[in-house]
Amino acid sequence: MFRCDYFYSVPSQIAQQVEINTIASSFGALAARISVMHSLGVPLWGGDHKCRLVGLLFRY
């Protein structure tokens, strides 16, 4: 089941708020990791390393 299907099928506003918080924290964690890699000088785009960003994000 996709998140959106779950979100709309849950009647409780508390459960919906938890889902929104989970999505928001996921984007926050992604932004933080990209920021750290950028500050370390890790090349994120272009060249022969087009998939470098994805590989680094999901390595750990």
Give tens-digit pLDDT for 18-58: 777 787 888 888 888 888 877 887 766 655 555 555 665 56
Dmax over CA atoms of the chain, in Å, equals: 48
Half-sphere exposure of 8 (CA within 13 A, CB side): 4
pTM higher than 0.75: no
| Domain, as residue range, for 33 | 3-57
How many independent structural domains does the chain possess? 1
